[in-house]
Amino acid sequence: MAVVVTGAAGFLGNRLAQNIAKRGAQVVLCDQMEPPVVPAGGRALVGPLEETLDAAITRDTRAVVHLAAVVSSGAERDFDLGYRVNVDGLRATLEACRARCAQPPKFVFASSLAVFGATDAANDETPTTPLNSYGAQKAIGELLVNDYSRKGFVDGRSIRLPTISIRPGAPNAAASGFASSILREPLAGKRAVCPMPLDTDLWLASPRSALRSLEHALDVDGAAFGDYRCVNAPGVTVSVEEMLAALARHGGDRDLVDFVPDPAVAAIVGTWPARFDTAKAAAMGFPDACSIDDMIQNHIEDELD
């Protein structure tokens, strides 16, 4: 089976590509940067997405996982870039599937909790009311995937991922990046900055949990999504205080975290719900997300040991 992963140089995309390859698929990895690992039997296409789609998606493509995106702060800061990548890039990928694939491929779209706004809690029936450009672009993406599925061009499934913590490597431009750095940096003996107060609640999933959700999205019967091809992925609600308490339990020094308010971050992260009803995901067999302690232990095992 031929599977295309866009955004495959990112930590999540690259690990997903490796996992899919272990299942026997031939994986095509697309990104503007060289992926750190190209699994055996796979091939990397490096360059702007619109320039690699012709070679990436062919009549033999059976699945696409679309992770390529400009993240939250970046999309808010550069309006044109956000729409060009997050909306136009997605539409171009869907059109390539429509034009070239011998049969409608499974199409997994990484959406986000950012599609919601001005609500403390959300379920799968909650209207999308994004209050930032990134959330708006992801909501548009869900509609595109749903309509291309309705027309029979793809077998779409949009997965609303929580904030991922702990992301390995250097900080990125995501407004929620602090949710990783306030754990990752102290575990490495480095200082970190938290722009939000201790009582801020966040909806989180570990990289392992997010990968399990994306892989299950590839496996599940598309009809299980119902008329709207979208689901809230499993996560856990954790406050900043609870995150730092867990950090201390695992040997990290919470005093390495400096609190410096950032109104720009608060204007984005503060609009995201922190509590979700994921009954639909549970009914579809999506694995539960792990606890904050397991998130930290996973990071220690995967990145520090």
- Residues that are catalytic: 134
DSSP 50-87: HHHHHHH--TTEEEEEE-----HHHHHH-HHHHHIIII
Nearest to 116 by CA among 63, 160, 86, 60: 160
Torsion (CA) 3, 147, 52, 43 in degrees, nearest 10: -10
CB-side neighbour CA atoms (13 Å) of 207: 21
Beta strand 106-112 pairing with 155-161: parallel
Instruction: Give CA separation, 35 vs 14, 60, 78, in Å.
Output: 7, 22, 25
Ramachandran class of 118: left when φ > 0, alpha when ψ lies in -120 to 50, beta otherwise? left
Neighbour-count burial of 298, counting CB atoms closer than 10 A to its CB (0-12 exposed, 13-18 middle, 19+ buried): middle
Question: CA angle, 113 as apex, 37 and 46 as ends, to 5°?
Answer: 25
> By the 8 A CB rule, do 156 and 145 touch?
yes
> By the 8 A CB rule, do 206 and 166 touch?
yes
| Residue 177: partners with Cβ closer than 8 Å, 6 or more residues away | 73, 167, 171
| Chain CA centroid to CA 20, Å | 16
